[in-house]
Structure formats: structure tokens, C-alpha cells
Amino acid sequence: MSTAVKTIIISHWHDDHIKGLAQLYTRAAAAELVYPAAFQDEIFQAFIDAYRDGDASPFGAETSEAAQVFKHLVEAKRTPVPALADLLFYRTGLCNAYALSPSAEAFSRFCAMLVD
């Protein structure tokens, strides 16, 4: 499995889309990780840091999964790929898969709005 999986794509922050991600990413160590650009925001990272251990809230499982994945990334000195608009993250002779996330500019405006 460690080389068969080429890309892991996180679509959004719901338990049914992120549960098991840490185990999958650990076992598929060579896979590229594509994730929502919002995950790289400082506010999101602060959320992960605050709630990753023993969180009993509805966000506990997702927070723990994300924290484990980010820890693995740091330990492996690997950089994930933020999914911004029109990012081509998969190509074969049959199809191309693009991210539908907002543009880098739109994402920056949104982050600035959160700080204000």
C-alpha cells in the first residue's frame, strides 16, 4: 500500500471524510496530500492545537485526525499541497481532476476578513 496510493485528497472537514486519514496517510507514506487551503490558515492551526487532545466536543474526532496528519507531515519534513482554484491534482489519459476551491486571492481576502 505504501507506494500504490499516489494522492490523498481531503475534501472537507467532516468526520465521514476525514476519519481514518491519519492511519491511511501513515501507511501510504509516499502519497501526496492535497487538502483545503483553509487548513493552512493560522486560525485553523490554532484550533487544531487547542482541541487535539481529549476533546469531547463534536469536533474531537476530526481534530485528532488532522493533528496526527500534521504531526506526521512535520516529522517526515513533507509539504502538503493546498487545494486552490484550478489546481490540477490528477491527470490520466481519460480524465483530469481539478480543485474547485476558491482562488488564492479570494482565500487571502477571506482570511483577512476573519482577522478584522
pLDDT, one tens digit per residue, over 17-71 is: 778 888 888 888 788 888 877 676 676 667 666 666 655 555 566 667 777 887 7
Question: Is the pLDDT higher at 87 or at 107?
Answer: 87
* In the predicted structure, residue 89 carries a pLDDT above the cut 70: yes
pLDDT for res 60: 60
The residue-averaged pLDDT of 67-86 equals: 80
Residue ranges covered by each domain of the chain: 7-84
Nearest to 107 by CA among 35, 36, 14: 36
What residue has cell string 471524510?
17
Contact present, 100 and 89 (Cβ < 8 Å) = no
pLDDT of residue 109: 78
How many whole angstroms separate alpha carbon 103 and alpha carbon 116? 20
